Structure 1
Amino acid sequence: MIHGRRLDSTQDQILAFADGNITYRISDMGYLHYANVSLGTPSVTFFVALDTGSDVFWVPCDCTLCAHTWNTTNGNEVDLNIYSPSASSTSEQVPCNSSLCEQQDQCTLTGQSDTCPYQVAYLSAITSSSGYLVEDVLHMTTDYSNPKAVDARITFGCGRVQTGSFLDGAAVNGLFGLGMDKLSVPSLLSSSGKTANSFSMCFGDDGVGRINFGDKGSTDQAETPFNAMKSNPTYNISVTQITVGTKVTNVSLTAIFDTGTSFTYLKDPVYTTLAESFNAQVKDKRQPTDPNSTFEYCYSPSSTSENITVPSLNLTMGGGSQYQVYDPIIYSVNGSTITYYCLALVKSTDVNIIGQNFMTNYLIVFDREKSVLGWKQSNCYDTKYTSTTTTQPNSSFVPSATAVEPPGGAPSSGSDSSSAASRHFHFLIYFLVLFVLI
């Protein structure tokens, strides 16, 4: 009987979105990873940014102020879906007395007890989302060879007002909060018994990734513990040593693993130590510092070859596990020619963030049950739960519109820059089919 109950346990299942577990790194939309999610009855599909640095999942909803279209860098205009609670037969408003309503004080001010408001301000300047909470069906599937549909009731934000980057930069069609708070989707899935309290994300070097809910990783993955934080818990880890090329430096650093930030941000003195160690060992000539550029350390390649050699970068995590950074630089390309490249590192004044660029080539496991971060090298096509494949959606120039948005632009990332135009064409067709035909 015990064995039978164990086999029937939904907490052992791995879930993906109804459209599959694939994610896309989109340069035109802040260089974040995005996925298709389907909500409501009948279902409506949204192309949302995946953010481990925040908790609330929201989509544009009966908007007073939001983006209705997305203008690509190629000049194409794509219509974006808008959620409406009245159009979904399974939608319900979340009242103020709900345990998930975290702004009950606002209910008193407005005099409305049947609707729980939400408001989230992000680290990017004047970037926010506000509205009220609703409950509806998130359409998912078991991520196996014979997938079965799973409808999970979740609470999310009906985003009536968006500001800042949400209007013309990153996450114009919604933001999928993957943080530690009880309102995040991983928390809701685990608390309702749909999955284990863990999930994984994979970041391929071709811009294609994966996301799986309930995935606890593997026994051969490297791990480091999360730092316990009583207020505002995040996926915060410790770094004890940084190795750049041949130089080893002991550090005392805590940082947030945040998929909602495009690049990595470090405070001084660690930022300067790492950047100067890198600069001292680069063979190419450094360019003059551009005050309008996102990055401080940029170089002119000595040849037109894409095989640029730079110092290796390795982090020693709390507990001693090694974390090699596979993609520390990004390129600016003109056609098939690399015009310059930069160390994709930004100086921060207040918080250390391991951004998405430092996660490339890894399957990252956010195990909230064991309170550890796990990682294992992966190309994201040979994972246990690979439900679909595609070409890379990318373009040859990227803005740096992220959870922490720096001034200026940024060159594009990835070593396969010569085929960027072709990859962007394939993605654009896919995007148009998704949001116009459906």
Structure 2
Amino acid sequence: MASTSYGYVVLLLIICVWRWQSCEGVNGVGFDIHHRFSDPVKSMFGVTNEFPEKGTMEYYDAMVHRDRFHGRRLAGQTDHKTPLTFSAGNATLSIPELGFLYYANVSIGTPASWYLVALDTGSGLFWLPCDCSSNCVRSYEFSPTETIEFNIYSLSTSSTGTRLSCSSPLCERSCLPSESYCPYRVEYLSANTSSSGYVVQDLLHLTTDNANSQAIDVKIPFGCGVIQTGHFLEAGAPNGLFGLSMDVVSLPSVLASQELVANSFSMCFSPDGIGRISFGDKGSQNQSQTPVLQNRLMVYTVKLTNVSVGLDSFAANLNVIFDTGTSFTLLADPVYSLLTEKFNSQVKNRRVGVHPDSAFQFCYLMTSKPDDLVVPAIRLTMRGGDKLSVVQPWIMIVEDDTRFYCLAVIKSDHDISIIGENFMTGYRVVFDNEKPAVGWTPSDCGESVPFSPNLSPRRSSATSFLHRGYLAFAIILVQFFSVQLMVL
């Protein structure tokens, strides 16, 4: 478990998005945020020794061991319907210096309140901190004189909110005889991390994802999170988690049930951490795609049939999950061992040794500039024959003025294989619940333009450093493990 100071700093980073900056194209908005390990945050808090040095193996390795901070429980559109997106616009953004966990700003209730939520295709129920004090994150002291507050949802402050009854078809948990309203509790793989309370319905404010930007209000179910535990009290999704799975209570399913758009949506992942989300998007006719396998978890599970590494390839028969809530790709054996062995046999650079506990075991000295680096290309063939070419499967590390790079693929210890965000980078990925299928098309996610937010919390001028996006391949909310390097 990370120390309290780590939690405070990551809260700052998430809160800092209230200081919005440009990251979106026409009709969209976005924001920049910094990770708790970033240099600006270190400097702001006067903290040096408590953080791994940026770019070191310890820096990346620390993050991997708490990937999937929220864990998750893993142990047809017609042509005339315009896609929808959040009322603040279709922009999403990952934590820039560590990347791959995407957030969006959503508006709920009457009058509308804003919440910064993590987007997760591995979860179903959307939940917000609700009517809580010690069991949720309410504010962060940005400086001795200024405090930034998160909005906390409450039925008492929204005239359009109601509790969901136990008899509702959207109530997925059995009620006790003493209960009149639908309860919920979601537990995650991370130790003692959960959210619980009761299910409510209220208005989610959306807009058409086109030049007209027509406002659309939709009543949706979501969890009123009275009690949060574990990482949700430290840093992980402190202002809510937005489930995007195939579950009946997820937003794509709810929008489709109201015949507003198709039961499909897309997320775009650019190398600089700026993305987009669009509900009802079915993709293009020429996109690559593969069918989704039926599974009780209602997540986007597909069949990996072949892996190509450089000039070599091998057959695979592996179920993998497309999961936007996981930063790095995890593969179970024998696929992991075959991929890494073939990658290692073709790399021309000298390999370096790492500590056995390190997440990345295949690392090499970098003797040229990153742009000139030549490594074996990795392509994944899915059921149906379409291929996903990985844009950049490695990360660069700096240790004691020595640069090296590591294959950013992790061996799965739970017999669960995941296509993480690093393998989705450079693509618009379509999650189509109607076929069902996952599709992908190369994309840079569009250009950026300035915008103005609808938020008005108390801000600090110290957020002026939030003007940049970074290409980075690591994740948030992690524990620290020592790393030893040696040239083999």
- Alignment TM-score, normalising by the size of structure 1: 0.81
Q: Which residue of 1 aligns with 2:116?
A: 47
Task: After TM superposition, give the deviation of residue 135 of structure 1 in Å.
Answer: 0.5
DSSP 3-state at the match of 1:228: coil
Task: After TM superposition, give the deviation of residue 83 of structure 1 in Å.
Answer: 1.3
Q: Does 1:373 align with 2:438?
A: yes
Q: Which residue of 1 aligns with 2:403?
A: 339
Cα distance in 2 between the residues matched to 1:407 and 1:158? 33
Residue correspondences, number? 389
1:376-415 to structure 2, matched below 5 A, reads 376-381=441-446, 392-394=468-470, 398-401=474-477, 408=481
Task: After TM superposition, give the deviation of residue 46 of structure 1 in Å.
Answer: 1.0
Return closer, same or farther for 1:294/1:30 CA change in 2, 3 Å cut-off.
farther
Cα distance in 2 between the residues matched to 1:123 and 1:173? 19
Cα distance in 1 between the residues matched to 2:156 and 2:200? 11
Q: Which residue of 2 aligns with 1:79?
A: 149
Cα distance in 2 between the residues matched to 1:400 and 1:272? 26
Instruction: Give CA deviations for 1:90-113 in whole Å, capped at 9, x if unaligned.
Output: 1111111111111124x33xx121
Q: Does 1:188 align with 2:289?
A: no
Cα distance in 2 between the residues matched to 1:263 and 1:31? 8
Q: Which residue of 2 aligns with 1:90?
A: 160
Q: Does 1:262 align with 2:331?
A: no
Q: Does 1:247 align with 2:312?
A: yes
Q: Does 1:321 align with 2:386?
A: yes
Q: Which residue of 2 aligns with 1:203?
A: 269
Amino acid in the other structure paired with 2:410: V
Match of 2:137 among 67, 70, 85: 67
Return closer, same or farther for 1:407/1:217 CA change in 2, 3 Å cut-off.
farther
Instruction: Give CA deviations for 1:36-70 in whole Å, capped at 9, x if unaligned.
Output: 11111111111111100110101111224122346
Match of 2:179 among 112, 124, 134: 112
DSSP 3-state at the match of 2:130: strand
Instruction: Give CA deviations for 1:355-391 in whole Å, capped at 9, x if unaligned.
Output: 11110000001111111111100000079xx997996
Amino acid in the other structure paired with 1:56: L
Cα distance in 1 between the residues matched to 2:263 and 2:110? 27
Return closer, same or farther for 1:346/1:159 CA change in 2, 3 Å cut-off.
same
Amino acid in the other structure paired with 1:50: L
Q: Is the CA contact (8 Å cut-off) linking 1:198 and 1:214 kept in structure 2?
A: yes
Q: Which residue of 2 aligns with 1:436?
A: none
Amino acid in the other structure paired with 2:408: A
Q: Does 1:142 align with 2:142?
A: no
Cα distance in 1 between the residues matched to 2:150 and 2:98? 13
Amino acid in the other structure paired with 1:19: A
Task: After TM superposition, give the deviation of residue 181 of structure 1 in Å.
Answer: 0.8
Q: Which residue of 2 aligns with 1:416?
A: none
Return closer, same or farther for 1:221/1:36 CA change in 2, 3 Å cut-off.
same
Return closer, same or farther for 1:232/1:396 CA change in 2, 3 Å cut-off.
closer
Over aligned residue pairs, what C-alpha RMSD do you find?
Answer: 3.0
Higher strand proportion: 1
Task: After TM superposition, give the deviation of residue 334 of structure 1 in Å.
Answer: 8.3
Cα distance in 1 between the residues matched to 2:236 and 2:100? 8
DSSP 3-state at the match of 1:12: coil
Q: Which residue of 2 aligns with 1:169?
A: 235
Amino acid in the other structure paired with 1:32: L
Cα distance in 2 between the residues matched to 1:117 and 1:16? 28
Task: After TM superposition, give the deviation of residue 157 of structure 1 in Å.
Answer: 0.7
Cα distance in 2 between the residues matched to 1:254 and 1:407? 30
Q: Does 1:224 align with 2:290?
A: yes
Q: Does 1:99 align with 2:166?
A: no
Q: Is the CA contact (8 Å cut-off) linking 2:265 and 2:430 kept in structure 1?
A: yes
Return closer, same or farther for 1:292/1:31 CA change in 2, 3 Å cut-off.
farther
Q: Which residue of 2 aligns with 1:16?
A: 85
Cα distance in 1 between the residues matched to 2:324 and 2:272? 16
Once the two structures are overlaid, the 10-residue window that deviates more, 125-134 or 139-148, is: 125-134
Instruction: Give CA deviations for 1:104-149 in whole Å, capped at 9, x if unaligned.
Output: 24x33xx121x21111112333322111111001110001111110
Match of 2:419 among 351, 354, 359: 354
Q: Is the CA contact (8 Å cut-off) linking 2:128 and 2:224 kept in structure 1?
A: yes
Task: After TM superposition, give the deviation of residue 331 of structure 1 in Å.
Answer: 2.5
Q: Flag structure 1 segments of 5+ consecutive residues without an equivalent.
A: 1-8, 411-438
Q: Is the CA contact (8 Å cut-off) linking 1:30 and 1:169 kept in structure 2?
A: no
Task: After TM superposition, give the deviation of residue 284 of structure 1 in Å.
Answer: 2.4
Q: Is the CA contact (8 Å cut-off) linking 1:55 and 1:180 kept in structure 2?
A: yes
Q: Percent identity?
A: 47
Q: Which residue of 1 aligns with 2:7?
A: none
Q: Is the CA contact (8 Å cut-off) linking 1:22 and 1:388 kept in structure 2?
A: no
Q: Is the CA contact (8 Å cut-off) linking 2:128 and 2:239 kept in structure 1?
A: yes
DSSP 3-state at the match of 1:331: strand
Return closer, same or farther for 1:70/1:250 CA change in 2, 3 Å cut-off.
farther
Instruction: Give CA deviations for 1:294-313 in whole Å, capped at 9, x if unaligned.
Output: 32222331245554322110
Amino acid in the other structure paired with 1:95: S
DSSP 3-state at the match of 1:65: coil
